[in-house]
Each structure stands twice: as structure tokens, then as C-alpha cells.
Structure 1
Amino acid sequence: IIKSAPVSSNGKIVIGSTSGFVYCLDLSGKKLWEFETENSIEAPALIVGNSVYVGNLQGQLVALDLNTGKLRWEYECENQISGSPNYWTSGETTSIVVGSYDFYLHCIDAETGKVRWKYESDNFVNGAAACFDGKAIFGGCDGFLHIVDIASGKLVTKIDAATYVANSVTVADNKVYLGDYDGKFSEVAIQSKEVSWFWEDKDTRLPFIASPALKGNSVVIGNNDKHIYCFNRQDGSLNWKYNTGKKVDASVVISGNKVLAANTRGDLIILNLSDGKAVWTYELGSAIVNNPAVFSKKIVVGAYDGFVYCFGE
């Protein structure tokens, strides 16, 4: 089963599987290398330069050589990693930040694998941290947004999100965009710590498992109520919604003026960003729970049947 999203660099595609393997493919689908970790991989890998960083459900974080798949180092969290690692570079120093179900956000030296610091929250850290301006921000299962200084590991500020945040947040223009487990989608101003606007369907209140994608004045996200929603970032008004026919766990991808989405029935869908009209659909027939990706005019996606699919030129 493939639950993680593909990532790409220098003509190479990297993806993990629930069997614990990391696979590196070229754009023709040829396998270049594989590396076996100790447990299931559900989060996307991170590629920085010639290194691949990937975590698994045992809490093992490995750094691999992108060209050879050889192990550079490994680091152990005390519980599972279900969100992608992220990174921040300051001067000569690159730090990897990753959350875990051990309640901590871990900061690790990208070169050596040595821990720099650990920041403790009050519950599971499910999604990836967003990194901006030397800070890491993440929503926890403790119902708070945590903003942590990457250099020191000290808390900058904490914002009450009121409920469990199951996904990765998106940051732009000092605003945080997040969907929560109670079916509310919000824009939060970092400086004032106030909710600028929010949207919810009071009839369904189904969770946002996916993370939002931004383009210009639009923010797009899928929900377990089967819909893709596009909101106006200025005031939170609904631009459009599209019914995919099955729940949406996968984050959408915006490429140009198109939105690429997938659902748990295995439908791949391309929508116009402007009006939400479908311009292309494909029935894969196997559940997709993490985002497809676009590389070199190709769409690449992993599915529950264990296959990686590529569409395009």
C-alpha cells in the first residue's frame, strides 16, 4: 500500500510504502534504488540537495543519499512519525524539523543526525511543521498552534486552535490556514493571534484531514464530506465547491490555473482554479490518501494497490 506522496528532484522520484521501503524512480518509472526502513511509511519524504529524509511509524527518521540510496544517518523518535520532515537553513546550518506522536517537535542537524533540541507539546504532533522566518509552526492534537524559534527551540507564541489539528498548516503573509477535526477551516493572523475568518458546515462537521494549497487570492482544501472547497483569502467567502463523490483525505495541488485532486475511491480530478469546473477525471480504482504531484508536465501518484502511476507526456 502506498499512502505517502511522491517528491522529486533532479529527475528522480522518491516515495515510501507501508511495507517500510523507500523507492527512488526515474521519470520513466525505472527503479534506481530502494531502502528498507523498520516500519510503515505514510508521510512524504523531504529532499534537500542530495539528501532524502523520511520518517516511519516506528519513529525512525533516516537520511539517505539521493543518488545511491545509502544510509547517511538515522534518528529515533519515541513514537510514530506521520508527517513529513521540513527544513530551515540559516548561514551554513541546515536543520531538519519533524513532529512525532511522542508529543515533541524534533530539530536535527541535517548533516550529522544529532539532535539540536526537542520542543514538547501536550499531545501527538500529526502533521508537518511549516517553516518561515526562522520559525516552525505546527498544529497539534492538543488544540494549539505552536510557533517555535528554530535556532533555539524556544516557544515564540501559542495560539488556541480550539480543537485537534490532524494535518499540516499552510503559512502565507503572516497568516496561517488550517482545517481541523471538527470540520472548521480558518485563517489565523499570527501577530494578533486572532481568527480572521472561518468556515464550517454545521450540518456535517466532517474533518479536514487534507492540508490547504494557496494560489494568489485562493485557498483550496478537500474535506471528508467528499467536497473540494475554494475560499477567497481576503474574507473567507466560498468561491466554489466540487463534489468528488467520495471523501477527500489527499491534499490538493495547484499547478498554474488548475487544481489537481484525488479521493479515496481512486478518482484523479483536474479542476479549473477559477470556477471549480472539472476538465479531466480518471478512475484509478484504488484509494488515494495523499497528494498527487506534478513533475516535468507529468502527474505522479501512489495508491492503495501498491502501484505508482504516472500520467502525461
Structure 2
Amino acid sequence: MPMNRRQFLTAVGASSVAIAGCAQTETDIPGLEPERELWSFRAADKKRISTTPAVRDGQVYVGSNDHNVYALAADTGRESWQFETNGDIRSSPAISDGTLYIGSLDGHLYALRLDGTERWSVKTGNKVYASPTVTADRVLIGSRDSYLYALKSDHGESVWRTRIGGVIRSKPTVDSGTVYIGGGDGDLVKLHRDDGTIEWRAPTEGRVSVTPAVIDDRVLFADHGGCVYVVSRSDGEPLWTKELSEGVASSPTVHEGTVYFGSWDTKIYAVDLDTGAVEWEVDAYGHVSSSPTIVDGVLYIGDSWGIVYALDPQTGEAYWRFETENAVNSSPTIVDGVAYIASNDGHVYALDVT
């Protein structure tokens, strides 16, 4: 697995004679635009932040490995409040009807008011890595205990739970009363939203940690074995499969008939939705677990080297790049001309993307 920037620079310092003259430095990376930074916020002890920021009503919400959920002023980055859990937070927040839902490695799903006070919490059978999905009056969350939980969003009461298999890191997708979620055992699973009964399982070659995408009569997802799949929504039968040399933990994004995703092979891909044919691929500096975000004709994505890319979705050409000090595994959130980026260097960055 490729090193992130901090690991590389540590190695450079430890063995400078061996690699003198050929080390990658900041000046070697073309198109860096540090002037885009509006502000940055540092979590306690610079603990990594790998969750995708949620932005609502002038506040930015993120979780950190320092166990805290933070609310930050979107215009300044000033901390509004923090809420402490008893474990690292790898789960990205979801906000609905004035409530923020987020999981923690302490095994709980928390429902917080937007002033940082707890509304309720529910303990699952193990650590919660996955991000929640809120649908109507329910919140869905997967756990390391292999179960997908459906809870009433107002009080956290259990509606149902269904065993998916393996460690669940996939965020469920809900469409037309149906739930799609990936399992750590390598299956994509389709369930009924109302009672959690399983309609079908689509087996793969590796763990499925991505968020499935539902496009018309198709479901699109990828696995850690290095395959991207499009299957029939009705029965889970494969329509096409794209094999890569390394695994995929980047949730595919579909835009105007093209599928965009990153891979651990240090590439960012655009492939045709109907056939899987590659339209373009570009090299990143590190492996790509970040999921692409496309806003106003620009594709934003991060990599393990700590680089954030702004690309042309049509060609893959880079408009600009921004460098952090550690991996960007989260997805950029773009609101009102500002990109909010969380990095494993322990910072949240606000970038001007106008």
C-alpha cells in the first residue's frame, strides 16, 4: 500500500543519502494552489479526521479520532461546540430535521441536537465504522457486529436488525422502499426497508465498504478485491464487471452517464455506465479511498498523499491541486463556493473553489 506524505517525508529524513536528488518534494507537484485556503481547524492533538464534513445553516460538522464531534463556523472555522464520545469516530455525520446522527467506535449511534446536546444514543453489538443513512422516520446504521440496524429517528427505538455479514463499513443506500448495503463478507445485499427482510445477495471477490449507487434499474458498487460491478436491481445478476489491479474503497459517483471513482492502484477513473469501458484514467500521488464529488462541472477527490484534486470530469485534466500533510480519505463537501476537506493530518480545511 502506498505511503502517505507524512510517512514518505519521515522515510526521507531517515535515509536521505540513499534517495538524495530523487525525493518527491512539494515543488515537484504541479498545480498546487495553497492560496485557496480560507481557514483551517485543528482537532485535539492533531488526531486524524477521516469523516466527510456535513454542512448545514452556517456550521460544519465532523467527527475525529480524538473521540469528538465538532461543530465549526463555516465562515471562520471557529469551534462552536464539541461532543465527546468514548471512541474514535470514523463515521460521517448525517443531518435530518435538526438532528445530527453519527457512529463511534465505542459502539454507539448518537443522535445530537445541532447545539451539541445529546438527544439519544443506542449501543450496537460492536464498533461502528459505518456512516448512517436517514430515511423518513428511520435511521439505518451498520456495525462491526455484522448487523444492519433500523431505528426510529425520533427516539432510537429498534424497528428491526438484519445480519449482513462481516464488518460493515458501507453506508446504506435507500431507494423506493428498498435498502442496499455492502458487507464485510463480500456480498451486496438488498433488503426491504419496512421489515429488513433480505431480497437478494450479490457475491463479490472482496469486502464491500462503498456506498452503493442506484441508477434506474441498476445498482453500482465496488469491492476490495479490485472490481467494479453493475448488477440488476431486480435480482442482483451482474450486467458488467470492471477488474482493476487493486481494491476500491472509493464510492462510485455517477454523472451524465459516466462513473467516477478512485482505486488503491493510485488512479482516478471515469468509465462508461452502460459498458464499463474506460473513458479516461489519471494518476494520483497516492492510493485513492476518497469518493468523488462533482459540483458545477468540477470533480473533487483526495488521496493518501494528502492531495486534493480539482479535475475536469470530461477529460481528467487537473484545474488545480491542494496539499495537506496526511491522507485525505474523506470526500470533499462543496457548499456556496467553498470546499470543506477533512484530512488525517488532524485538520479541516476550507478552500475557495470559485
TM-score band by shorter chain is over 0.9
What is the CA-CA distance between 1:157 and the residue it aligns to? 2.1
What is the CA-CA distance between 1:23 and the residue it aligns to? 0.5
Quote the sequence identity (%). 25
Larger deviation, residues 13-22 vs 188-197: 188-197
Which residue of structure 2 lines up, in the alignment, with residue 44 of structure 1?
A: 92
Whose strand fraction is larger, Structure 1's or Structure 2's?
A: 1
Which residue of structure 1 lines up, in the alignment, with residue 118 of structure 2?
A: 71
1-side partners of 2:113 and 2:266: how far apart? Answer: 39
**Matched letter for residue 279 of structure 1:** Y
Q: 1:56 aligns with which of 77, 85, 104?
A: 104
Q: 1:255 aligns with which of 278, 295, 304?
A: 295
* Runs of 4 or more consecutive aligned structure 1 residues displaced over 3 Å after TM superposition: none
2-side partners of 1:161 and 1:176: how far apart? Answer: 14
Query: Is 1:182 aligned to 2:182, yes or no?
Result: no
What is the CA-CA distance between 1:19 and the residue it aligns to? 0.8
SS in structure 2 opposite 1:22? strand
Whose helix fraction is larger, Structure 1's or Structure 2's?
A: 2
Q: Deviations over 1:85-114 (max 9, x none)?
A: 00211xxxx100011110100000000111
Normalising by the residue count of structure 1, what TM-score does the alignment of the two structures yield?
Answer: 0.94
Q: 2:272 aligns with which of 229, 232, 239?
A: 232
| Root mean square deviation of aligned Cα | 1.2
2-side partners of 1:23 and 1:154: how far apart? Answer: 36
**Matched letter for residue 301 of structure 2:** A
Query: Is 1:83 aligned to 2:130, yes or no?
Result: yes
**Matched letter for residue 265 of structure 1:** W
Q: 2:80 aligns with which of 32, 36, 39?
A: 32
Higher relative contact order (CA 8 A, sep 6+): 2
Which residue of structure 2 lines up, in the alignment, with residue 207 of structure 1?
A: 247
Which structure's CA Rg is the greater one? 2
Q: Would you say the 8 A contact 2:268–2:283 is kept in 1?
A: yes
Q: 1:128 aligns with which of 166, 171, 195?
A: 171
Normalising by the residue count of structure 2, what TM-score does the alignment of the two structures yield?
Answer: 0.84
Q: 1:171 aligns with which of 203, 214, 239?
A: 214
Give 5+ residue unaligned stretches, structure 2.
Answer: 1-47
What is the CA-CA distance between 1:156 and the residue it aligns to? 2.2
2-side partners of 1:122 and 1:218: how far apart? Answer: 30
Which residue of structure 1 lines up, in the alignment, with residue 65 of structure 2?
A: 18
What is the CA-CA distance between 1:162 and the residue it aligns to? 4.2
Give 5+ residue unaligned stretches, structure 1.
Answer: none
